[in-house]
Structure 1
């Protein structure tokens, strides 16, 4: 179902006119995003240089907690903006990039998993997450207004937890085969989702 077929009430809840500015940028959640990114990247860089897995885990914890905090504050304070959504997406990749480098440097056996995960998260998921800009919605969290199935598989609370926690959890337990299998499944989901989004755009003549 495309956005044009939704009831007006549903559209009013999560859809913003494209003519509105994407900001403001100076918001509490964006400040949280900036702080958690600087901290996570700094700690992660030190972990890479020292080969300290525990420090790498701390960097991931800062990233994870900060990612929750910026989203919560945006909703709680009514400061969700399109600029903030893009900033969050970009910062997530900065944090994930340094953490992946640190993981491979400390645990070379994780390389196949990281390669698949990077292709999935850093490339495909980046494009998918930015796709919300093609429609008048605030962020990927509201993509259900455009396509509920794509939203369920990528940005629903369950999908966010499963897509990342499954791989990270298996790696933490040194279950590299399981982590690789989960990463491949997630990659498949991203490929399917990307194809569906492309078809949505084509159907609208874009």
Structure 2
């Protein structure tokens, strides 16, 4: 069946280095080596996410490897690269992680975010945010609205901070934006709800 591809979807344009900002929306961190190079890294929950992120990074020309973090979870890390320096300058304020001024999400960034930390949660979908960078949470939630996916932060009783997307139409839009799941990611991809469950 033919379907219309949104201008903002992950399939609307070829993969580019800018898409890696989606990893920074979730658990990703950017570290610089002086003013000469920077490296993107992310500690994630499942091995399939590590494999998928490595593939997606390499598609964008950024070689990445999987290591073992001190906590025992997979760590995806690029090498230090000159072309990652702009991420370091935009996504940090002093020593703190920060959302750049004027930041605009794309479907490709959102796909990277879902791979790094997206999960189905009942009739909703959660996008993990960095628990060590609370100042980024509200701005990241707001960045979803222009894509047609208004969302909200989970309350303080949540086990981990995350942005929650609810409602059939919003989930349909989210699924269209991020495209089809890569092998092994099906269980963590947004599920489409029947019309009677629309929220």
Query: TM-score of the superposition, structure 1-length normalised?
Result: 0.30
Q: Which of the pair is proportionally richer in helix?
A: 1
Q: Which of the pair is proportionally richer in strand?
A: 2
Larger Rg: 1
